Amino acid sequence: MSASRMCEGRVVVVTGAGRGLGRAHALAFAAEGARVVVNDLGVGLDGRPGAGSPADRVAAEIRAVGGEAVAHAGDIATTEGAASLIGTALETYGRLDTLVGNAGFLRDRMLVNLDEDDWDDVLRVHLKGHFLPLKHAAAHWRAEAKAGRTPEARIVATSSGAGLLGSVGQGNYSAAKAGIVGLTLVAAAELARYGVQVNAIAPAARTRMTERTFAAAMAAPGGGFDAMAPENVSPLVVWLGSAASAGVTGRVFETEGGRITVMEGWRPGPTADKGARWHVAELDQVVRELLAGSRTPAPVYGATTL
């Protein structure tokens, strides 16, 4: 167990916590003294039904080392499942302090081969699966604030580099993860009055979803630093989910190995203002001059240079 106990007394919900990043987050919060609701539907990498209950296993793992945890196996992309998730925290531990959105799966296809169901299912689990638990948690925290018990509440959402830059073959996933950033910014603005801080991370780590991408990035020989271990991401998530992060909200952090980067989103670049409507014939020169004075965008993941 950690010596700092940064989250002593806090109750933390982590979605998709049965494996990979979610499991690492749940264990890290427990090590810092939090009581954890471990949510996982137990599906396979593609979101289809799987065997066993990973949520039960992680909750048992936390209890085995003296922590407190309860499993929740509901579908948090449904109103009933999301309400049940927040209700489990309140009924079991009497409070809720932090919500970590992490659940997701992949259905990778090039856009011309991407089925409508694969689009809908990925948007559903990632984006709707962030929105619905957030909505129910926020309703609870708003009620607490209106009753004069303003919380030190935290929400940590999980985006991706694919959501910030795009990723070839992952149009559905990239769109969902970009949507999570937009949701984070709106939630941070709307919920601040109720004592709720909302931030997002864009992690890079070796999980079921990325094991092919990071197959070559194995642990360093001789037990050295494994830069792609999911446990590397969890310290930032725990800090953002703790009271220690006071004043930090509406931010996106990219994190990989030992590196943390504050991501800076869309900002106005070079501008031309005629003060009247442009003629189409004028724009070739104007737009090209604007682009020449702008920063070159980072390449989309997986894009080839022509």
Is residue 154 within 8 A of residue 98, CB to CB? The reply is: yes
pLDDT in tens, 25-68: 999 999 999 999 999 998 655 445 555 689 999 999 999 999 99
Choosing from 173, 194, 234, 245, which is the catalytic residue?
Answer: 173
Choosing from 128, 167, 177, 194, which is the catalytic residue?
Answer: 177
Tell whether 282 is covered by a domain: no
Residues sharing a CB contact under 8 Å with residue 9, sequence separation 6 or more, in sequence order: 33
pLDDT band of residue 216 (cuts 50, 70, 90) is very low
What is the distance of C-alpha 224 from the center of its chain?
28
Q: Report the pLDDT value the prediction gives residue 214, as an integer from 0 to 100.
A: 46
Tell whether 47 is covered by a domain: yes
Closest CA to 156 of 266, 246, 239: 239
pLDDT in tens, 218-273: 445 556 789 989 999 999 999 999 999 999 999 999 999 999 999 999 999 999 99
DSSP 156-192: EEE--HHHHH-BTTBHHHHHHHHHHHHHHHHHHHHHG
Tell whether 273 is covered by a domain: no
Q: Report the pLDDT value the prediction gives residue 224, as an integer from 0 to 100.
A: 78
Active-site residue flag, 53: no
pLDDT in tens, 143-190: 999 999 999 999 999 999 999 999 999 999 999 999 999 999 999 999
Tell whether 288 is covered by a domain: no
Look over the chain and give the mean of its residue pLDDT values, rounded to a whole number.
Answer: 92
Strand partners, 200: 157, 252
Structure-token match 């494994």, residue found: 226
Tell whether 204 is covered by a domain: yes
Full residue range of the structural domain in which residue 193 is found: 11-263
- C-alpha 205/C-alpha 258 separation (Å) is 11
How far, CA to CA in Å, does 133 sit from each of 70, 140, 237, 286? 17, 11, 17, 46
Q: 232: how many CB neighbours lie within 10 A of its CB?
A: 23
Tell whether 84 is covered by a domain: yes
Residue 108: CATH number of its domain: 3.40.50.720
Q: In what order do the strands lie in the sheet with 35-39?
A: 68-72, 35-39, 11-14, 98-100, 153-158, 196-204, 252-256, 259-263
Active-site residue flag, 160: yes
pLDDT band of residue 289 (cuts 50, 70, 90) is very high
Number of domains forming the structure of the chain: 1
Active-site residue flag, 173: yes
Choosing from 93, 128, 159, 160, which is the catalytic residue?
Answer: 160
Tell whether 274 is covered by a domain: no
Tell whether 253 is covered by a domain: yes
